Chain A
C-alpha cells in the first residue's frame, strides 16, 4: 500500500464518512483555488470539523511523509491552496463557528472557516467590525486571510491582517497543537504569531483565530472622481497624500476595469472615463466631512472631469460592490485571466502603466488595471482565452514580466495576494540567495520534512523550468533501498 493509500485508510477510520472525499469527480472540484490557471487534482480531500480532526489528518501525513495543503474558501489569487497530486487537501470550510465575542475588550475568537464579512456582521450590533477587507470578503475565510496576510481597500489607513490578529491556535506540520500570540497586542517573547501570519500555509494550519475589532467610524464619506487617464488620477492621489489627509481608502480603476465592474454591478461608474478614483474618508464627523471638501478640491484641481459624491449609504455600498467585484467580473470581458499583485512607488505609476500597456500590446493581450492607489498596490489583470493554443502561456509570461517590472521600479512582487505558485519563480528577482536561504531555514524550523504546502513561495526547478543538473544517484539508490524509474 502506498503512503497516500495508508493515509486514506487511517483517515477513513478516524474521521466521519462524509469528511473524506475520494471520488475522482469530487476531487476534481478541488483542483484549483481562485487562480484557476493552475490545476492539480488532489490525492485526497478531508473536511474536518475540529482542531482534533485537523491534527489527525496532519499526523497521518506526517507519519508517512505525505504532503498536505490547507484550503479555506478557495478564493486565493496566487495558487496558495493549489493541491498536491500525491497529497492531502485539508479543507477548513466546515470549521465556521464563532466561538467567542468580547465586545468590551473588542475582540473575538473564531474558527478558520468563518468568512471575513461574517465576523463583521456578527459584531455589527455592538458597533464593531473587523477592519481588513479583501475584495472577496463575502466569501474568503479568516484562516486564508491569516495565511496570506490579506489586505484590502481600507488597509491604507488600518493595516493588514497581521495588525488585527492577536493570537492563533495552530496545528504544526508534525501534528502537534500550539498557541501563538495571545489575547493582547504585544505578548512578550519572539513574535511567532507575526512569523505565522502571511506564511502562506507553509508553517502549519491555523485552527482558531483571535482577532481585534474596531469601533465603526462615526462618519464615512465616499466619492468617485473620473479622470482622462490613470496618470492624471495618480497626480490627484499624490496631492491627497501630500496634503496630510489619511484616507480610509483610495482605489483606482482603469477603463477596462470600469467596463467589467459596471457590467457586473451597474454601480454608476462612467464608461467613458480613462480612470476612476474611489476616495473614502472616515472618522469623527467634523473631521471627516471637513477634509472631504479638500479631497474634492484636490481631485478637481488635478483634472477630474466628474466628481460624484455618494449621497446615501446604499449608493456608497454600490460603489464598493462595483469596485470589489472587479476581479470576479472579468469573466464578462474574458474567459480567463491572471491577476497580478505588484507594489510600486506611487510616483512611478505613470511610467509603469505605460510600460504595462506596451508589454500587453507586444504580447497581443489585454490588461485591465485595478489599483490600491494609496499604498501603491497594483493589480493588473491579464486577460486570455484558455482555449486558444499558446495564449495561456503568453499570458502567464506577460503577468510575470509585469511583476518583475514592479520590482525594477523599486517595488515588490506581491502586496497582499501572496507568492503561492504564481510568483515563486519571481522570488530570486527580488531576494538574494542568502535571503531565500534564511527564509528556507525559518520554514524548516516549523516543517523540517517539507510536507506542509510544498512547492509554494520558494522557486523550485520543476516549477520554474530551471535546467536540472547532471544525474547524481540518491544515497537511497546507492544503498539499494530505492530505485528511480
Chain B
C-alpha cells in the first residue's frame, strides 16, 4: 500500500497505523512523504550553500539533505516524529532555494509539505505554541478578519498607544517564563505595516473593462494579507492591467487561497480554502488567473496536485492551476501599450522565494521594471530568503530576524532608494528591518507610478 494509492478525505485525527505493519514507519498512511521522492536525493550536498538555515547554523539536520535523511529515517521507522524531528522540520523556511540548487531535481516542496501535514496530525505541540499557532491561523487566512486586524493596527498606530508601548519596550517587560514568546510578539509588533484606512475600506471593482482594444480577460486573486494590509497593491494591479488592455474580473466572494495553511501542514483547512477559491473562479471564462502575491501564486499553480484526491474538484482545480500567472508574467507577456513616464529612482529588486524558486519567475518582474524609463534596477547579488516565509518570522522569530537583518544590510550596501518585491510577506519583513528610510514596493506599484506620470516613487503607494 503506497501513499499515492490512498485517496480519500483528509483525516482530522491520526490515521490508525501500526509502525511495523504499514510500511510508513513513523508516518501514517495518508500521503506520507514519498519514499521514491526521498530516494531521489543522492546526498551530494549541492543544496547546502543555498539553504538559509544551513547558512545560519552550519549543521546537517538543518539542511535540505539532512531533513530528507530525517524523513527517510522516520519512513523506515528508525526515529519518531518527536520534538527533535519537529524542531528541524519547523526550522525550514520552505523557501525552496534548495530546489533551484538541486541537480537531481528532488521535489523538496512535496516532501516538506507532506511531512508537515503529518506533523500537524501526529505530533502534539506544547500548549502555548498551539495557542499561538491557532491564533495566527484564526486571523491570517481570513480576509475579513485581516481587515479588522488592519483597522485595529491603524488605530493602534494612530492612537499613540504604539508609541507609548514602544517607549516602554513592552515585549521586554513580559515575565521571564514567557521568554520564547517575547521574540514572537516583538516580531508581530515590528511587522505591522502603516495601514491606509482608505485603501482598506474601498472594495475592489467586480469587473472593469480594458483600456483600448481588449487583449486578455483576467481574474484577480485578491489575497488576504494583500487585501488587508496592501490594498493599494491590488488597486495598482487592476489599473496597470486595464491600462495594458486587460479586462479585469475580481470574483466574489473570495477567501484565502490556502497557501499559508499548505505551508504549515494544515491540510484540511488548506483544501477547504482551495475548493472555495476554485468555486469562486468558476464560470468566468478567463484567459489568466492573476496573482500578485508570490506565496499564493505558487500554491495556486499546485492546485491540481493538492485536490487530486477529490473527484469533484480535481479537474477544475488543475484547470485553474493551469491559468494561474503571477501579474508580472502576464505583463511581461504583453507588448507594452500604455505610455511609460520616467520614474527617476534607483531601486533593488528582491526575488521572493515563492516567485523565483517555487515558480521559476525571475526575468519577468525585471522585464516589467526595465520597461520604466529612468528607473535604475540594482541586483542584490544574493537571492537568499529574507526570513519572512509565510508565518515563519512569527513562529521562528530569531532565525527570521537574523535573515531579515542580513537582507536589510545587503539592501543598504546597495545604496538604493527603495526595494521592489512581489510578495506581501517579504514586503512586511523588509519594511521591518529597513525602517522608514527605504520604502518597499510591489513591481506593479512602480509600473503604476510610471503610467500615472509620477516622477518619483514618493507617492507610489496611493489608492
Contacts and interface: CB of A to CB of B under 8 A. Distances in A.
Interface string B403-424: 0000000000000000000000
A194 B79 CA distance: 44
A136 interface: yes
Contact of B43 (A32, A113, A140, A387): A32
A36 B36 CA distance: 16
A458 interface: no
Contacts of A139: 45-46, 48-49
Interface residues of A, number: 44
A330 B58 contact: no
B178 interface: no
Given A25-B70, A93-B59, A115-B49, A335 B79 contact: no
Nearest to B67: A29
A192 interface: no
Interface string A323-360: 00101111110011100000000000000000000000
Given A25-B84, A25-B85, A93 B58 contact: yes
B184 to A, nearest CB: 20
Given A32-B43, A34-B43, A139-B48, A331 B73 contact: no
Interface string B33-58: 00010011111111011000000011
A29 B70 contact: yes
Interface in A20-76: 21, 23-26, 28-34, 36, 47, 73-75
A76 to B, nearest CB: 9
Contacts of A264: 103-105
B60 A136 contact: no
A386 interface: yes
Contacts of B45: 34, 73-75, 136, 139-140
A29 B61 contact: yes
Interface string B82-99: 101100100000000000
Interface in A228-275: 263-265
Interface in A77-127: 91, 93-94, 96, 113, 115, 117
Given A25-B70, A115-B49, A328-B103, A36 B79 contact: no
A138 interface: yes
Given A75-B45, A328-B42, A26 B61 contact: yes
Contact of A47 (B40, B59, B70, B84): B59
Interface string B350-372: 00000000000000000000000
Contacts of A387: 39
B106 interface: yes
Given A28-B79, A332-B105, A138 B46 contact: yes
B49 A138 contact: yes
B66 interface: yes
Given A47-B58, A264-B104, A28 B73 contact: yes
A330 B85 contact: no
Given A26-B84, A28-B70, A73-B48, A337 B42 contact: yes
Interface in B291-317: none
Given A21-B59, A75-B45, A139-B49, A330 B70 contact: no
Contacts of B339: none
Nearest to B68: A29
Contacts of B48: 73, 139
B20 to A, nearest CB: 19
Contacts of B73: 25, 28
Contacts of A328: 42, 44, 46, 102-104
Nearest to B54: A93
A29 B69 CA distance: 6
A122 B376 CA distance: 26
B104 A332 contact: yes
- Chain B contact patch, size range: 20 to 34
A153 B58 CA distance: 28
Q: Max chain B CB contacts within 10 Å: which of A47, A263, A330, A335?
A: A335
B46 A136 contact: yes
Q: Max chain B CB contacts within 10 Å: which of A21, A28, A34?
A: A28
Interface in A292-346: 325, 327-332, 335-337
Contacts of B78: 28
A335 B58 contact: no
B40 A335 contact: yes
A337 B102 CA distance: 16
Contact of A36 (B42, B49, B103): B42
A90 to B, nearest CB: 13
Contacts of A96: 58
A312 B307 CA distance: 44
Contact of B105 (A28, A73, A115, A331): A331
Given A136-B45, A336-B42, A329 B103 contact: yes
Contacts of B66: 29
A25 B84 CA distance: 8
Contacts of B39: 335-336, 386-387
B117 to A, nearest CB: 20
Nearest to A95: B58
B79 to A, nearest CB: 4
Contacts of B82: 25
Nearest to A113: B58
A149 B41 CA distance: 26
Nearest to B46: A328
Contact of B104 (A26, A30, A73, A329): A329
Contacts of A138: 46, 49, 101
Contact of A330 (B59, B63, B104): B104
Given A25-B84, A337-B42, A331 B49 contact: no
Contacts of A265: 103
Interface in A114-154: 115, 117, 136, 138-140
Given A73-B48, A139-B48, A30 B60 contact: yes
Q: Max chain A CB contacts within 10 Å: which of B43, B61, B105?
A: B43
A327 B84 contact: no
Contacts of B42: 36, 327-328, 330-331, 335-337
A34 B46 CA distance: 10
Contact of A331 (B63, B85, B103): B103
A459 B46 CA distance: 30
Q: Max chain A CB contacts within 10 Å: which of B45, B73, B82?
A: B45
Contacts of B57: 18, 94
A147 to B, nearest CB: 15
A412 to B, nearest CB: 24
Nearest to A36: B43
Nearest to B36: A335
Contacts of A26: 60-61, 84, 88
Q: Max chain A CB contacts within 10 Å: which of B41, B69, B70?
A: B69
Contacts of B44: 34, 75, 136, 327-328, 331
Nearest to B39: A335
B301 to A, nearest CB: 20
Contacts of B69: 28-29, 31
A136 B78 CA distance: 30
A335 B72 CA distance: 13
Contacts of A25: 61, 70, 73, 79, 82, 84-85
A24 B59 contact: no
A23 B84 contact: yes
Contacts of B43: 32-34, 36
Contacts of B104: 264, 328-332
Given A328-B104, A329-B104, A335-B36, 5 more contacts: A25-B85, A36-B42, A94-B57, A327-B42, A335-B39
6 contacts: A18-B57, A32-B43, A138-B46, A327-B42, A328-B44, A331-B104
Interface of A: 18, 21, 23-26, 28-34, 36, 47, 73-75, 91, 93-94, 96, 113, 115, 117, 136, 138-140, 263-265, 325, 327-332, 335-337, 386-387
The 10 nearest A-B residue pairs measured at CB: A331-B104, A328-B103, A328-B44, A325-B103, A29-B66, A29-B60, A36-B43, A329-B103, A335-B39, A94-B58
